[in-house]
Chains A and B, each alone.
Chain A
Amino acid sequence: MSVRDDLLYSKDHEWVREEDDILVIGISYYAQEELGDIVFAELPEVEEEFETGDSFGVLESVKAVSDTFIPLGGKVVEVNEELLDNPELINEDPYGDGWLIKIDPFDDTELDELLTAEEYTEFLEEE
């Protein structure tokens, strides 16, 4: 459960899933555990563009604020509006209903630079 095999990961604890030409992005199970109960998700607007590693949003728990960093540069094509009213989805289902944004990547060859589930698990163990 904590690391899903079918996803790619960044060292900032974001995951990426390919859906046709676009990429779905969320935070890992580990990340949501670290943040605690998330009470608000501040997400970008559709059409906004980000370079790899840029902060694209903010997740808030009761007394902490954390930036989210985009694993791959691209243009936002959809944001998870459901999170505005139900931020708890990120805690309850980080790899499913708790996804954050979908992007159209500038350069999808950068996907190769992300961690596989196995590599990410190793990375977590090291941390």
Chain B
Amino acid sequence: MDYISNTTAETEKMLKTIGVNAVEDLFKMIPEEVALEEDLKIDSGISELELMNLAQEKASKNKSLADQLSFLGAGVYDHYLPGVIDHLISRSEFYTAYTPYQAELSQGTLEAIYEYQSMISELTGMGIANASMLDGGSAAAEAVAMAARISRNKKIILPETINPAYREVIKTYGDGQNLEFVEIESEAEIIDPAQIAENIDKDTAAVIVQYPNFFGSIEKMNEIAEIIEENKKVIFIVIANPILLGVLKPPSDYGADIVVGEAQNLGNGLNYGGPYLGFMACRDERKMLRQLPGRIVGKTTDVDGKEGFVLTLQTREQHIRREKATSNICTNEALNALMATIYLAVMGKKGLKEVGNQSYHKAHYLAEKIDKIPGFDVANKNNFFHEFVVKSVKKSEEIKTQLAKDNIIAGYNLDKIGKEGLLIAVTEKKTKEELDKFAEKLEVL
């Protein structure tokens, strides 16, 4: 099955108009030495029915979260997705559109992005937000590059309480720019701000902090803010969890200069790691705005004075400034940003707060239960929001294997990153029954 609708007769007519005899003649400029002689070794096309069967066959080899009880988080969270989202983004005027270059025929996309920017601004407390980045990791990496451009320095303070995947992406991008990373180790689940104070100096470009951090805990934000405040040129980057900003103070309260993160949890599904949604916001200052990567939508008026929206400040971008652009980013995650926008509209101020609160109380309910089980200890019990670290006399791998037999995914194994314990995340989706079941299974291990 192909998607060609020119018939043989029509093809003949077109070839005649062009002035050639056969379609192959249109490829004559390809030199013989590189022209393919054989057909591609790819099977012939199949019908829709066969395709659906094939996909079913592959799918049957998977075990999705619909078939098991998962406590995985570690940067990707399984929150409830209101049905309205998929319904609305399935309107083809949205999902089959291109980047809104012709503004007059793209007002839907543009206005939705303006709303997205507005709501990200509200959540983060920052005056400016862009239209999206590729994912949380690359958004963090671009924030670091932006900080280096603004401060004209190369040294980045990178605590190990930041999501390890983000740290890897940040370092890959950093290699491109010859940035230098000072990694700060954590003793417990948070870093000691004194370590930032010891390492910060006139050559420092940026300090990055995750809020809450990879282990679910909140760093000593005020102390860190004070240290950075004393070093005027240093850019403070906060990697925030946007859904929790419905309940937690905005990073602007701590003097953040750039706020980035993964907004998958705002109305986007799990999709085995992507497409996700990087968000990026910064302080409302010209010098910050000039260095912000990515697309930005602005409100303006048309020739009749009617309000409308356009892509603006495009001279920062690659298609105009080429090698002097702030970033190479072109395609972004527009449809995912639309999903986040609709999610925030549906949840509103009360709903977002309730999601945060329910996640908090359910996580704490579970943590208290686990903490009471002999041989188990919640390491950050006084400081976590909806994700926590469980340490045990038993090996994490063994706990995971045992619980898998009961169709429970017992969280993220911290051995993978050279730490101890299990990282367990709870969202509003979990029922009391499910939380009780998890605790019971741990107890009888």
Contacts and interface: CB of A to CB of B under 8 A. Distances in A.
Chains A and B share a contact (CB less than 8 Å) = yes
A65 B315 contact: yes
A51 interface: no
A40 B313 CA distance: 9
Contacts of A61: 315
Interface string B271-304: 0000000000000001000100000000000000
A65 B314 contact: no
B286 A60 contact: no
Nearest to B325: A65
A84 interface: yes
Contacts of B314: 62-63
Question: Interface residues of A: mostly helix, strand, loop or mixed?
Answer: strand
Interface string A31-56: 00000000110100000000000000
Contacts of B290: 40, 42
B286 A65 contact: no
B320 interface: yes
B321 interface: yes
Considering residues B290, B315, B320, B324, which has the most beta carbons from chain A within 10 angstroms of its beta carbon?
Answer: B315
A80 B50 CA distance: 69
A64 interface: yes
A84 B324 CA distance: 20
Question: Interface residues of B: mostly helix, strand, loop or mixed?
Answer: helix
Contacts of B286: 84
Contacts of A62: 314-315
Contacts, number: 18
Interface residues of B, number: 7
A64 B316 CA distance: 10
Contacts of A42: 290
Q: Which range holds the interface residue count of chain A?
A: 10 to 19
A63 B312 CA distance: 10
A61 B314 CA distance: 10
A60 B314 CA distance: 10
A113 B62 CA distance: 77
Interface in B375-417: none
Nearest to A61: B315
A46 to B, nearest CB: 15
Contacts of A63: 314-315, 320
A42 B286 CA distance: 10
A88 to B, nearest CB: 15
Considering residues A61, A64, A65, which has the most beta carbons from chain B within 10 angstroms of its beta carbon?
Answer: A65
Interface in A73-127: 84
A64 B319 CA distance: 10
B312 to A, nearest CB: 8
A39 B300 CA distance: 14
Interface string B321-346: 10010000000000000000000000
Contacts of A39: 315
Contacts of B324: 65
Contacts of B321: 65
A65 B321 CA distance: 7
B152 to A, nearest CB: 11
Nearest to B312: A62
Interface in A15-30: none
A39 B315 CA distance: 10
Interface in B177-217: none
A64 B314 CA distance: 9
A117 B320 CA distance: 34
Contacts of B320: 63-65
A65 B315 CA distance: 7
A62 B308 CA distance: 17
A66 to B, nearest CB: 10
Contacts of A60: 315
A39 B286 CA distance: 12
B221 to A, nearest CB: 31
A-B pairs with lowest CB-CB distance, top 10: A60-B315, A65-B315, A65-B321, A84-B286, A63-B320, A65-B320, A63-B314, A63-B315, A42-B290, A64-B320
18 contacts: A39-B315, A40-B290, A40-B315, A42-B290, A60-B315, A61-B315, A62-B314, A62-B315, A63-B314, A63-B315, A63-B320, A64-B315, A64-B320, A65-B315, A65-B320, A65-B321, A65-B324, A84-B286
Interface of B: 286, 290, 314-315, 320-321, 324
Given A39-B315, A84-B286, 16 more contacts: A40-B290, A40-B315, A42-B290, A60-B315, A61-B315, A62-B314, A62-B315, A63-B314, A63-B315, A63-B320, A64-B315, A64-B320, A65-B315, A65-B320, A65-B321, A65-B324
